[in-house]
Structure formats: structure tokens, C-alpha cells
Chains A and B, each alone.
Chain A
Amino acid sequence: MKRATFPVILFLGILSLPMLRAMADDPAGIEFFERNIRPILVKHCYECHSHAAKKHKGKLYLDSRAGIRKGGESGPAVVPGKPAESWLLKAVRHQRDDLKMPPKGKLPAAVIADLEAWITMGAPDPRDKEPVKVADSSWEEVLKKRRQWWSLQPVKKPELPRVKNAWSKHPVDRFILARLERAGLKPGTPADKRTLARRLSLVLTGLPPTPALVNGFLLDDSPSAYENLVDRLLESPHFGEHWARHWLDVVRFAETHGNEWNYEVHHAWRYRDYLIRAFNQDVPYDRFVAEHIAGDLLPPRWNRAEKFNESPIGTAFYRFGEVNHDDCLEFRQIGYDLVDNQLDTLTKAFQATTVACARCHDHKIDAISMKDYYALLGILRSSRQVTHTIDAPEVNESITRELRELKKQIRQEQGKIWLKEADDLGRYLLGKEPDARVNKLDGKRPEAWKTILKTGQVPLESPIYPWLVMRLQNPAGFSPAWKNLQEQVDKEARQRADFNAKNFVSCGDVSARDGWQMTGQGLRGGISRHGDFALAHAAGDQLLTAIYPAGLFTHLISEKLNGVLRSPILSAKKKYISFHVLGNKTSAVRLVSNNCQLNYVNYQVLTKNEFTWKKFAIPEEAGALGTYAEIMTKFDNPKFPDQLGTLGGDTYNARVPWEEAAKDPNSYFGVTRVVLHDCAETPRVELSHLMRLFAGKAPRDLAELGAIYEQAARSAINAWEQNKATADDVMWLDWLVRNGLVSNSRKATPQLEKLVDQYRALEKQLALPRIVPGLADAETGFDQPLLVRGDFRKPGELVPRGYLEVLGWANRGLTPPARPFQNKGSGRLELARRIASPDNPLTGRVMVNRIWHHVFGSGIVRTVDDFGRVGELPSHPELLDYLAARFVEEGWSIKKLIRSLVLTETFRMSSRADAANTKADPDNRLLHHFPARRLEAEAIRDTILFASGRLDLKMFGPSIHPYRDGTNADRRLFPGPLDGNGRRSIYIKVNLMEGPKFLGAFNFPGGKVTQGRRDVTNVPAQALALLNDPFVLQQADFWAKRLIARKDASVADRIEHMFQVALGRLANREEREQFSRAVSKLAELHGVAGDSILTSQVVWHDVAHAIFNLKEFIYIR
């Protein structure tokens, strides 16, 4: 009960002290205690002053009458009738500086007044028993009881019930009939064929039947007519669209992340398409579940037509929902909330179990402990939020092979050219005219040489440095100067090498051996050899982007190809991690901690084709946070398109729609070294490449030095041409190419030009990598400490990763707790096996119930997402078990199950409610008639498009922005076409920041939590939408245009046509008359003459509009 502050204060004013005392032991006094005092004590005092207190303070127990009167070290806490002597009151009044209770802050005056009143009245206190400390083992007791819950019992296939009525032989009907008979009810009459055709079409495909389909069904008088119709609709590709949309509700599908900047969930539409294919192909549900949970770890399921692996796309489901972009290190809660949402979705979707309730305490009513929660949390926190490249190995394989071959030829051709050019090096250095024979091609080169020789200060590692030093020497001083220089270079080289050796530890050679992971088409070649190069992709004359040392580069074939490199979990033994990287176009390098993939701290965008060191401080708790490093190209970078281009990213793509930002698919990175270190500095450039200048005989003058330079370059070029370049060779080549000191033009020779043109033409044919968001395992998983009261600042004991204790032995006689998983990775694979198992009592039941819900409008268990104690009980428990058992027997086939359900007499009953039946069972839980229901938002919109003739049945592909008034780029809200290009609603983009408005009026789900059962509200906004929404009016116009082009003989004929299209049935006489009268009236109001009614756009617009507004139009009956 709640303290009633005001009445009590008034009350005290009226009553005298003796009257209060008289209340001491009577029921009113006890009630006063229960209402006003006990809650205060529990809330503010028990934490430290009770038997259950973890940290007991002051030997004071306030949780019993004896305890409170005995008091603590200071004396009695409460002296009945004597507030002034009661220490409790002194403490709460803060009378003494050393005794201010509760320590968190003074209680409100009204509460203190209550305490005083209570003591004054004699401190009535019913707590006469000494409380016992609650035993820690109690959870086992609790679990023992709770595991008796119906949904946790093994599925047992029941016998078919006996029934009196010969209504149907279908097993499902017998279960339904048995319950009806037990209640003394009779099943309803069968529906007529037209009604059935429309019902079936809407339930199976979410679209009304075409008039042709209806007519075909009417004409088919074979006994299998209905079955034929069922099979035709089950084979329709639109079946998958409709059932995929149901599943999207379950996984809280959304294509943006909401929060503040509303980042894109990259390629989320591919998951939607995956579902459509999965439902159409009837992928067995156990496989479907396993793909969701751990599709990345399963053997591939190849899509042979499209040449990609379907399996990992399932894991995209984890990635929807709201994601905060803020600093997860400072605001650590963010990372836990994110994974909590995944855990919640996972357990509700597949198990209809609210495991997330056990985040802060054991579940209040279900058989779920906090340990269960943290066992699962460990699995999910050990997994990583990643992108998967799903292409089969053969995608782009032959083109890539050809491109490699061309590169080899280009290299040879270019090598020949450069070797010739090397002959000129000495002349250039000495400032002489170049050999016209060599240099006729490129007028820029002499300028480039002039520029580099003019440069004042260059770093020691630059190959030109020795030349710039030596050219200042007079002939006499040349040799000593050379010696000095050599000593300087030697010394510096040693120092740098020593410094690097001393201060930096390699973080592995970025290969799988050291726990690094790489994905993406651009990294298929693995670590490149020294001297590999990228060809400039643009149409210009430039040939090479650059020549690179050995490392991982995504663009050695094409900048269109993607790549991701991921480190193992970092340890905080060293302070920093640094990357020697280059990259461009929103490729980035970052550290991910606590699975926060939108974080902007520890994130650096790569915007240059030049190597730099990117340094990050490793978080102190890197291990516990699962911190890892990641380098990725544009479409694998979750911060693309960049909402915060101002933070140093590429501004070209900031705050524009995806399709605009993604027009240019090019993006790349390269990485050669990753090091760990404690010093603030990053590694220094070493000087071994300069040694070749000092290796031979010392030069005596500049001419000789020029020859040495020539020789140095020539050997580098030679080695490169033969694909034998070393890192030092690359330093020289890179210097020559970058500074324009050698030619870099595809037009250098006709042969080169031909090769490059071939290359570019082939490169155009490369298919863009197909990428999906998902989850992946790190090499090793880690266990999660239980967080006391869900507070990440209070880690408790480590909980081994595993699944729910209650499901560990429910069916198979396993020894409890059967929890810890043996797998080295996250444990998702084992989790998938536990859930997608015939032995799991929930998996089958939950899914058949979801299917039943969509076929019959409400589930056998109406709370489809909760099979726990708060959920409802099944209306037909045996039927549920029968269906679950059969579902498994029939290979977890969703289509077979649906087929079986729609073939029942139950499904084929009329939707007319019989008065007597309704009186006995008003909610129709026993299914005495087919329950009519409103269409879902998407089906309403699709049906309007269908009727108007605007529906475009094109399937798959990126989503269409929903219609809205204008752009709000800060929130990534971009307007789409009013009619969504006529596409079905499943292809309208689900933007978490703002749902599609028209669909929103009809209970389109929010996309943040699982919603297997949608609300069906009934509000005027829906009437307003159908009456006035511009989409509806536009479609009425569209339909009217088509109508007036028809050659209908009369108004009545036209109305007949409209009824058939929109309602799948004929109009009766009364309807024809009423509509005809309305048509005349409308014509009159619009001033349309009688003979031109049939061609009047305005009149038929209104009639079409009226039809869109019919309840029958938006109902399944």
C-alpha cells in the first residue's frame, strides 16, 4: 500500500495523543504500521539493518519488533510512546552530525512525521518473529517448482480425441471439435467458395485473389479444387513475402539504428530477401533457427542461382533494434543494453521466454535465474557485430584470375619502360637535359625532377636525401663528406632499428595464425608480396595508384572489392596499438569495445593513399570488454554514410541517402604492420633501403653518385619486373612513382594502353561484393561475470557460457546443470543446437503457435511471445502438442504445416458468428466460427495498390524510402515516392526514427522489441488515413483513370467489376442499387451529365475512394 501523506498529516492534527496511544495494538495501529511504516523501513533501512542485509551495519536489526526496540550500539531505536528517546527518530531527523540516516539523503518531512506519529501511538508492530536469513540454495527449490510449468514439459504427441460428430476426419478438426463438443457447441457452417478464395489468398500471400484465380476456382468442380488452390497459393512467390513480414515483427526488423543520428543497418534488406526466399523454399525451421543463431558457423547453404551463402544472413537478426553511437567506454551501459536487446529478441523469438527479466534478479515467476541470463549474455558478448561477405568463392573468380594475368603483363611492360627511363636518372640528378630518346613521352617528368631537387628539407629516409647533401660539396670535400654521410646514415639506421626493436612488439602478422580474421573479396589474395600494386581505376591516364610493400590490401584487383581485418581480443598489457595503414573513401580503422559498433571514439577514418601510423590507447579493461581492432572498407564500415563527416571523415557522403552515398562503390585500405607499445611515439622509418647507395665503391664526384643512383633504381625496377622486389626495392619504386620521377601513364606504349583498357573493361564486370550485417565469433569466447542487480559496476562470479538450466535436462535426462559449453568460440553453435532441437520443448510449440496465430488470427496460446506464467494458457494444449510433434516429424516444414491448417474444416468455416455459440464463448477461443479480422497495415496498403492496378509485383532489392513531407538529413529521414513505386509494403524502408506514416496508422510495429502479435487498435486516425491520406486519394485517382478507360456497358456493370477486383465477389442487387444511386448523386454534386458518368474521372475517383474505405475491403472474413 502507498503512504497517504496528506490524509495522515491532517489526521494527526485532529486526533489527540491519548487517542493515538489507544491505537497502539488495535487493528488500526497495525494497519498504520503496514501502510506507512513497514514500507519506509524496507525501502530505506533494511539494506543495512536487517538479517538479509549483505553488509550489516551497527549491530542494529530493524526487521523485527524485538530488534527495533532493542536497538543498536547507541540504544533503543524505538521507545514506544517516546519519540524523543527513540534513536531512530534522531537519526532520520539528522539531529546529530555523526548519525544521519539514511546515508543517501534525508527522508521527506512527511515520512519523518509518520515515523513520529507511529512511535507516539506506541509503535504498533506485528513483526513478532525473528526473521531468518534466506538460504542461498533456495533457487534450486524455486526451480524445482517452476520447472513444472506446462510449456517446459516435453512435447508428447497425443492420441486423437474421440468425437461424436462426423464433421471432419482432419486430425486438427477433431481436436477443435472435441473441445466444442465438450462445451456443448457446434462448429459453424462452411464458407462459400468466393469467401474462401479471398480468405486463403490473403492469409497465404497477403494479397487478394485475382478475379482469374477466383473464377478458376469456381469453375473447378473436382473434389481437389480447394486443395489445388491451396497448392497454387503456397507455390506463389508472394507467399514468402507475406510470411517473411510476419517474421520481421518477431525479430524487430528495422533498417536504421534510431537513437540520435539514425545510422543505417547496412544491407538490412538482404535479410528481408533471405526470409522471403527461406519461406518460399520452405527451409526446414530447425535449419532456419540455427542459421539465425549461428549461421556463420554452419556449413554453407548455397544459393546456387545467385552464388552466395544464405546461411550467415540469418545472423542479421541480432543486429536490428536501437543502437547508441556514443562512447561505450565512458558510458558502458550502452554495450550491455545493446546485447540485452539481442538476448531478449533471441529468447522471445525462438522460445517465447522472457529471459531478459532476469538481468537484475532471478525471474520473478518463471524458471529463469540470473545465472541463466549471464550464461547467455556471455555467449552474445563473446560474439562480434560484423559484416559477412556472402559471395561464393567462384564469384568474380575467373575475372580476378584474368585481371591478375593482365597485371603481370602490365608489370612487365611498365618495367621495360622504367628500365629505359632509369638510364636518364643521372642526367636528371645533375640537372642536364634528359635523353630525348627516352623521354619523348612525358613532359611532366623534367618538372618533377626539378621540383624534387629544389626541395629544401627532406627526411633522412628519403632516397634523395644523400644527393641533396652531397651536391653541396666542393670536389675536395666530396669524399670525406661521403664518409661522414655514411657514418651518419649507419648510426641513425642502427638507432632507429634499436628503437623499434626495443619499443614495439608485433601484434601478429595479421594472419589467421595469430587469431586475426579477414573477410571480403578484396582480401581473398591474402598477404601480398612486396611490390604488388594497384591500378588507378579512374578513366584517366594515370596507370598505377601506387606500389606497395607486402601487406594486406583490398584494392590490388579493384577498389570495388571490400575487406575487413579483425584482430583477436586485445590485452591491455601494452598501452597502445598502432597500425601502419593507408586507405580512402570511408575506409576506417578502429577499436571496438563492448560490442559497440557505432562508437565514434577510437575510430579513425582513412582518407589518404599514403601510409601513416594510426595509434589508439588500449582500454584498461580490454579483455573484459572484448576489445578488438578492425579495419574495413566503406560498405563494411557501420558509420557509412557518415553522419558526422565533420569529425574528420569523408564529407562527400555525410547526411545523404544511402543510395546517393553509395553511388561510388570504391573504397580501400592497406595495412602492413600492427604493433603494440608503451611509448607515445610510433615506429620510426628504418633506413635499410639507403644502404645500397653505400654498398659499393664510394663515389668520388656527383657524376659517380648519379651512376650509383641509376644502379639503385635499376636494380629495384629489375627486381620488380621479375616479381622479386624486396621492401627496400619498394621504397625506391614508391619514391620514383609518387614523385613522378618515372612515367606513370597508360599511354606510355600502345601495348600498355591496350592492356590497361582490357583491364578496365574487365574490372567493370566485377560484381560488387554482397555484404550482410551479422554476428561472428572471435577465436575464443569469454565468460561473463554475473552483474549484481544488473549493474555493470558490480561484477560478481563468472558464469560459464551455456543455455537455460531448466532446458538442460527437461527432456533428455541430462544431469543438471548441463550448462557449460565446450566450444572454444562464443558458444553460439552449441546454443543453436540446443534451441533448434526436437528435444527442446519450446521451439516447436512456439513456432506452430505463431503459424496458428497468423492463420486463425490468434494463437492457441494468445501471448505468442510469452509461454511463461504471465502468458496465457493454451486454449487447446493437446492440439498444440500434436502440431508441434507433427511439425518435427514432417521435417520442420512450415509449408506442410500451413497447408495442413488451411485444409481443415475449421479454416473453411464461415465467419458468421452464431448467437448461441457466441453467448457461450464470446471470444471464440474454441473456434466455433472463422474469426474475421482486420488486415495488417501492409496488406491494407497492398490491397489498395492491387485494386487500383498500381501494384508492381517486382520482388527483392533495396528498400524504398517511405513517403514524408521533406528531408530531415540530421535524422536520416529522406522522402520517398507517395505510392512507394507501387511496390509491396515489405519493400518500404523501415526507419527506426520514424515509421512509415500510412502503415503506422494501422499498428505497424515499432521495430525495437519483438512483437509477434500486433496490436489491433480501432482509432479515428485510421478512418482519417483512409479518408484523407494523399496516398489513398492518389490511388483512387489511379483506379478511376483505369476505370473510365474501360468499356463497361453501364454503371451497374462497372460496380460489378469493382466489387470483383476489390472484394473478390459479386455485388448483390441491393448493393448495386445503393452504389448506383450514390453514383448518380455524386454525378449531380460534381455537375456531371448523365451520359458522361462512365467517363467521369471525379465520379469514379469517389467511388473507388469509397471502396477503399469499406470495412469489408480491409477485413479477412
Chain B
Amino acid sequence: MQKKNHCPGRMTFPLTRREMLTTSANGFGLLALSALWSDRAYADSPPRPHFTPRAKNVIFCFMDGGVSHVDSFDPKPELDRRDGQTYRGNRNWLKSPWRFARHGQCGMPVSELFPHIAELADDLAVIRSMRADLPLHSTGVLLLHTGSNAAGRPSMGSWVTYGLGSENRNLPGFVVLNFDVVPCGGMENFSSGFLPASYQASIFRAQGTPIDNIVPGSRNSRVQRTLLDLLGQQDRRFAASLGASDAVESAIRNYELAYQMQSRVPDVLDLSRESRATQRLYGIDSTDAVQRQYGIQCLRARRLVESRVRFVEVNCPGLYNSNGTWDQHGGLKQGHERNAQVTDRAIAGLIRDLKSRGLFDDTLILWAGEFGRTPHAPSRDGRDHHPEGFSVWLAGGGIKGGTIYGATDEFGMHAVENVVTMHDLHATILHLLGLDHERLTYRFGGRDFRLTDVHGRVVGEIIA
């Protein structure tokens, strides 16, 4: 199939086995595929970006619950000095239990929580001046995902697939790799909101069958083929009796794709052909089951991006706390260390792997939670929710590596320099994908909606 979205002058992807299948399938298959996943995402002429994109895919590592910024990417020596001193009566300043060291040529300070990611400091653009809205998980997670504190809006991944379509007609454009954790704010975080349902995330589970109903009900593929053939005859007759119905025709074609997906989805998630070395890179050799699983999800993310799935979100495993893996009001030391141990190697491995495969420049990696954590606390081993200033980082396509942008005050309390809101972050991500956040609109219930609502500024300073 002709690819229309490639940047001029770039090498096209090597033809994958999947693409071979798509392009060489019989005419019916081709037709079917072009009508699939419906509407615009898979239409004959996929939507074009507004301008030349810097990245084509996104991998969003969602740090559910809120990583402490002052313990990860935003060192605050002032907290060391004030450690234990009273803050507002019943709270005390709390210094970071972890040491920071400078990394890379850029000399970016990263705490010892993330030794592997730290090695890639020259690839990261850390925004230290993020600001969210409310210190609540549900609204925070929704704001990060959908640009709104309230549920009902499309997820970032839905907007991106709506804006750009998908380049793989066998797989959904927006995939969430999930650990059976329903995040705060509900599955609404992955919903297409008022955008057509075809833009909603497909949830791939870490364990068991990756997606609903992908395992054939009939173990015997010849039985299923027999049924499908019978259905095909009968349904075409039905369509004809209506005097040709587009809806019925495309429903018929859905069956062919569904039939193929039964093998293709497990196939793209099948890691058995990945080399030992690759698996090791992601920590899949670990004896720790959770770390192994997170590694598997990250490697799956690469495979999905390689198959040109547009937007892949990797969730955190449900460790520790029902309100988010990183939500350490207590047990900060143990909790953050364990979470970092589970995620650090896999994410670093993902970046290295993308680089070695030439995918890094086309893939935007976002590492972000809904907020940071307070520099002060009622206890000596926990931090609370903190949306007033925190850190996220980006890497990959279009990102100026080794960048530190924005700053919080000396305590890590408030973002004071070059404040970046969630809307700004979204505007920037869309911009890198070649989408103008003010033009990517959808009319619903009487008005044009945007991911960035009526806000948003592209943070040009982190763009290469």
C-alpha cells in the first residue's frame, strides 16, 4: 500500500512481513482493509499532517500515581539544608533519600533511582516546570490523558490517530499496554470521547490473552473457515436483498480482518523471535516477575511502533497502591526504589533498541505522571500529591537531547521559570507529529473541541 505520510527525503521503512501480507493479499483483502477501523483513520486517503512531522509515533510511558520530581530529575540542595525543619506547622521539609549525579555530555543531574535512564541523559529533554491543576489522581490522570479534568474527552492517543490516521491497517492505531489496572478517572482515560469509537485505545493486557476475543472460539481453524465461508455467502445475499448496503458490506469485510487479526495480533506481540540480547536489554531476563513483565510491555511497544502503530501507551504495573504505582504517601524509599527498578532498565532498553533499529528519530517518547510529589511531608518517608511544579521528560523524534527546560523554585515547590502546562505539553507533542493543536479540532455538541481546549503553547525550546 502506498504510504503517503512519509517525510520527503527519508528512507522508507523496510518492507515487513506484515506489509508484504497486506500488499500482496488478494483484492478482497485489500478492499476490506481499506474500509476497516472505519472512517478517517483508515480511509483511502489518510489525513495529512499540517506540516512536516518530526516524529511519526509516540510511546508514552505513563508513570501512574506521580513520581517525585525532587527525587528524580529536579535536585534541590535546599531540601538537604532544611531537612526536618517545619513547614506550615504539621509538615517538615524532606530531603531526597537519593543522591544525584551529573550524566552525559550535557551533565544532566539524575538521581540514582534511574541509573539506566541516566546513561541516556544526552537524549532526554527534561521539563522541570510542569504544572497540572488539582492534586487529585482522577482529575490529574484525565488532564494528562485528555487535556481536561473531567471525563468525556478523547484521549491524546485518540486525537493523534484521528489527526494522522494509522499506517498499519491490521492493527489499531492507539494501543494501551496495560496490567489490568483501571487508572483513576476510569477507562475514560483511554476513550475516544466524542471522536468516533474507532479511535479509542485497544487495551492489550500484560498477562493472559492480550486483547478481548482475540483467541479463536473454535480451536479448529478449518471449522472457523467453514463458518466464515457460510457467513460470507449468507451475508452477501443479505446485503443484496437490501439493494447493496455499505454498512453490511463493511461489516462483512470486518470478519475477514478479524479472522486475520486472530493470528496477527498475537504475532506482533510474540517476543519469541527476539534475540536473547534484545530481551536482556529490556530486563526480560530478570528474576523479578514484575520487572520482566514491564520489560515485555516495553519490547511490545517497540514491536508495535515498528509495525507502525501510531500511539502506544505503556502503563505501570499495579504495585503498592490502588491509586497509582508511584503514589507513595508512605513507604517512599521502598516504593520509589522498587518502581524505578521495575521500569528503569526497560525504558532505557527501549530507547537503546529504538536507536539501534533506526526507529528513535521517528518515535517520540514521553515519560510523565499526573503530577510530582511534595518536597515536604507529614512523615519522614512519604510525599503527597504535587501539581504545582514537577518534571516530565521527552526523547526521540524532534527532541533536543540533553535539554533541561524550566525550573521550580529552590524547594521544588512551584514551577517558576518557563512554566509548561499539560496543554503546552500536548501542543508540543502534536507539533512534533506535524499537527497544529489549534487546527486539530472536532465538532461536537455545538462547538469545536481541541486536545488543548483554548490553551496550549508549543515548547519550541526542547525541539531540535
Contact = CB atoms under 8 A, between A and B. Distances in A.
Contacts of B134: 326, 331, 333
Given A258-B186, A968-B182, A1018-B254, A1082 B238 contact: no
A366 B446 contact: yes
Interface in A1096-1117: 1102, 1105-1106, 1109-1112, 1115, 1117
Given A322-B152, A912-B243, A1024-B262, 11 more contacts: A2-B436, A5-B460, A324-B138, A357-B447, A918-B243, A971-B322, A993-B187, A1018-B38, A1071-B237, A1074-B233, A1102-B218
Contact of A1105 (B202, B227, B254, B322): B227
A1021 B418 contact: no
B227 A1106 contact: yes
Contacts of B196: 1015, 1017
A911 B241 CA distance: 8
B233 to A, nearest CB: 6
Contact of A1085 (B36, B226, B229, B255): B226
B251 interface: yes
Given A1021-B212, A1033-B217, A1105-B217, A1112 B234 contact: yes
B152 A1008 contact: yes
Interface string B290-331: 000000000000000000000000000000001100000000
Nearest to A869: B446
A932 B245 contact: yes
A718 to B, nearest CB: 54
Interface string A238-274: 0000000000000000000011101000000000000
Interface string A330-347: 010100010001000000
B364 to A, nearest CB: 17
B252 A1111 contact: yes
Interface string A1023-1065: 1110111001100000000000000000000000000000000
A847 interface: no
A105 B421 CA distance: 13
A1110 B447 contact: no
Contacts of B254: 1018-1020, 1022-1023
B188 A1008 contact: yes
A307 interface: no
A545 interface: no
A184 interface: no
A994 B185 CA distance: 10
Interface stretch (B93-101, B156-164, B437-445): B437-445
B346 interface: no
B243 A1027 contact: no
Interface in B227-266: 227, 229-231, 233-235, 237-239, 241-245, 247-248, 250-252, 254-255, 257-259, 261-262
A1029 B212 contact: yes
Interface of B: 36-38, 50-51, 134, 136-139, 149-152, 180, 182, 184-188, 191, 196-198, 202, 208, 212-218, 220, 222-224, 226-227, 229-231, 233-235, 237-239, 241-245, 247-248, 250-252, 254-255, 257-259, 261-262, 322-323, 418-419, 436, 438-439, 443, 445-447, 457-461
Contacts of A672: none
Contacts of B51: 4, 6
A1054 B252 CA distance: 25
A560 B274 CA distance: 63
Contacts of B151: 258-259, 322, 1008
A245 to B, nearest CB: 19
12 contacts: A259-B186, A260-B138, A260-B185, A331-B134, A357-B445, A913-B243, A933-B247, A1018-B38, A1018-B250, A1019-B198, A1029-B217, A1111-B252
Contacts of A971: 182, 186, 322
Complex A-B, nearest 10 residue pairs according to Cβ-Cβ distance, in ascending order = A913-B243, A1023-B258, A970-B322, A354-B446, A1028-B213, A1024-B213, A1028-B217, A1020-B258, A1023-B254, A260-B138
A1071 B213 CA distance: 29
A973 interface: yes
A965 B213 CA distance: 13
Given A866-B446, A1020-B258, A1117-B242, A1110 B235 contact: yes
Interface of A: 2, 4-6, 105-106, 108-110, 258-260, 262, 322, 324, 326, 331, 333, 337, 341, 348, 354, 357, 363-366, 865-866, 868, 870, 911-915, 918, 929, 932-934, 965-966, 968, 970-971, 973, 992-995, 997, 1001, 1003, 1006, 1008-1009, 1015-1025, 1027-1029, 1032-1033, 1070-1071, 1074-1075, 1078, 1081-1082, 1085-1086, 1102, 1105-1106, 1109-1112, 1115, 1117
B269 to A, nearest CB: 15
Contact of A1023 (B237, B248, B251, B323): B251
A918 B246 CA distance: 12
Contact of A1003 (B149, B197, B224): B197
Given A260-B185, A994-B187, A1085-B223, A1106 B215 contact: no
B197 to A, nearest CB: 4
B220 A1028 contact: no
Contacts of B186: 258-259, 262, 971, 992-994
A867 B384 CA distance: 47
Given A1003-B197, A1024-B261, A1110-B234, A259 B242 contact: no
Nearest to A1031: B213
A1018 B226 contact: no
Given A913-B244, A1028-B216, A1085-B223, A1018 B137 contact: no
Contact of A105 (B208, B418, B438): B418
Contacts of B36: 1019-1020
A887 to B, nearest CB: 25
A105 B419 CA distance: 8
Contacts of B137: 260
B261 A1111 contact: no
A1117 B238 CA distance: 10
Contacts of A1021: 202, 212-213, 258
Contacts of A110: 460
A506 B89 CA distance: 34
A997 B182 contact: no
A156 to B, nearest CB: 26
Given A1017-B196, A1105-B217, A1027 B251 contact: no
Contacts of A105: 418-419
Of the listed residues B202, B242, B446, B460, the one surrounded by the most CB atoms of chain A closer than 10 A to its CB is: B446
Contacts of B233: 1074
Contacts of B458: 5, 108
Contacts of B139: 324
Given A1017-B198, A1028-B217, A1111-B235, A260 B184 contact: yes
A357 B257 CA distance: 41
Given A913-B242, A1027-B258, A1018 B247 contact: yes
B200 to A, nearest CB: 9
Contacts of B323: 260
Contacts of B242: 911-913, 932, 1117
A1068 to B, nearest CB: 9
Nearest to A356: B445
B251 A865 contact: no
A1022 B251 contact: yes
A696 B184 CA distance: 68
A973 B231 CA distance: 36
A259 B238 contact: no
B212 A1082 contact: no
Nearest to B243: A913
Nearest to A929: B243
B226 A1082 contact: yes
A1109 B231 contact: yes
A517 B216 CA distance: 59
Contacts of A1032: 217
A756 to B, nearest CB: 46
A329 B341 CA distance: 39
